[in-house]
Structure 1
Amino acid sequence: MPPVTSPEATRERILAAARSEFARYGIAGARIDRIAKSAKTSKERVYAYFASKEALYRLISGQELAAIAEATGMDPADLPGYAGRLHDYFTTHPERFRLMQWGRLELDPAEAADDPVQATMAGKIERLRRAQEDGILDPSWDPIDIVVLLNQIAASWAGYADLAPVGSAERERFMEARRAAVVNAVARLFPTAAPS
């Protein structure tokens, strides 16, 4: 007789399998039957836990956003440091960068009122707006431009790992220089205001 597994263990296996599937194939290309096979369960069981493939993706992207926030910690008083941490996260985990990009490409944010990406962006924009009001950041930038430009600069090398040299020491020096360029670019664009 096969071992009995808890519903929670099955759900976690489905989430792990779906995370890998979405990162590799996107939302449209992901297949529930492959997710079920990888999770060692049935397609019907996947649908018993998750109403649709899109709902499953939104849950996973929300979890990933929480992991990114915990690993990188946006500090409006140190946006260059934040950009460096984002760069590190995405160059270390390019599959997670791909996972998040698929949602931007394939989902209509207007279709889900509780879209985790929209909620995260709104929270960051509000924090930046308060930092501007407190005199920490230059108020001439629209906070949404700060978030989008900073994210694009920080993640710029996540999609270009193939340009890095192959040797480990040479590659490490190359990526350190790329990180320094990211931090420097953000420091120039969004310097912290000098104390009055």
Structure 2
Amino acid sequence: MRTRDPERKRQQLLEGALAEFAEHGIGGARVDRIATRAGVSAGLVYSFYENKEGLFEAVYDAIAEQAVSEIPIDADNLPEYAGALYDAGLRHPEVMRFVAWYTLERAGSGQPARPVVTKSMADKAAAIEEAQRRGVVTADRTAAELLALVLSLANMWQLQGEDVRDLVPVGERRRVVVDAVRQLVTP
């Protein structure tokens, strides 16, 4: 006798959607392919999400929640935090592709930031502000500016074309990220 496990089905659906959206973006993704990748019926997609856009947003939220839980900020050691983010990008290139599509698809849309992301960014900036007050992190820039720079540096190799990636050997890229962040945040 088979038992229903809606959470398992939802997780399969998010994983299938991540793969499809990472490959095609929201515009090129197809619900039938998402369902096939997830091993569920296309109708089941609509029992969980109103439409493809809702599923796209749910995948983004799931990625953000996973990143926050798996790679918590260490404001006292922002260089290694950046290194951990870099490592995660290498382990999950499909997530980096999805985020690139998300940025392209949602840029200039006027949609507010997702609540999970807004809270995460506020918490990270607050942690950096506290480290600045204690003198662990430079106060030459605002916490928000430092956070934006750290995130950009951590992800720069995954978001660039081969022409930029080829400038630095793969084995040196993490070191470059960590060193750059260290120089940026050291008081």
Secondary structure of 1:111's counterpart equals: coil
Structure 1's unaligned 5+ residue stretches are 166-172
Q: Which residue of 1 aligns with 2:150?
A: 150
Q: Is 1:133–2:133 an aligned residue pair?
A: yes
Q: Which residue of 2 aligns with 1:94?
A: 93
Instruction: Please give the per-residue CA displacement for 1:2-46, whole angstroms capped at 9, x wherever unaligned.
Output: x66533332222112111111111122221121122223332221
**Residues of 2 paired with 1:47 and 1:55: CA distance?**
10
TM-score, length basis structure 2: 0.83
The 10-residue stretch of structure 1 (6-15 or 19-28) with the greater mean CA deviation from structure 2: 6-15
* Aligned-residue CA RMSD (Å): 2.7
The structure 1 segments of at least 4 consecutive aligned residues displaced by more than 4 Å after TM superposition are: 160-165
Secondary structure of 2:169's counterpart equals: helix
One-letter amino acid of the counterpart of residue 148, structure 1: A
Structure 2's unaligned 5+ residue stretches are none
Greater Cα radius of gyration, structure 1 or 2: 1
TM-score, length basis structure 1: 0.80
Deviation at 1:188, TM superposition (A): 0.7
**Residues of 2 paired with 1:49 and 1:11: CA distance?**
7
Within the candidate set 173, 185, 189, 2:184 is matched to: 189
Instruction: Please give the per-residue CA displacement for 1:25-72, whole angstroms capped at 9, x wherever unaligned.
Output: 112222112112222333222111112222222222222223223333
Instruction: Please give the per-residue CA displacement for 1:134-185, whole angstroms capped at 9, x wherever unaligned.
Output: 33222221222111111111111224585778xxxxxxx9333111111111
**Residues of 1 paired with 2:128 and 2:116: CA distance?**
18
Q: Percent identity?
A: 31
Instruction: Please give the per-residue CA displacement for 1:119-140, whole angstroms capped at 9, x wherever unaligned.
Output: 3222212221222223322222
Q: Which residue of 1 aligns with 2:39?
A: 40
8 Å contact from structure 2 (residues 61, 116) kept in 1: yes
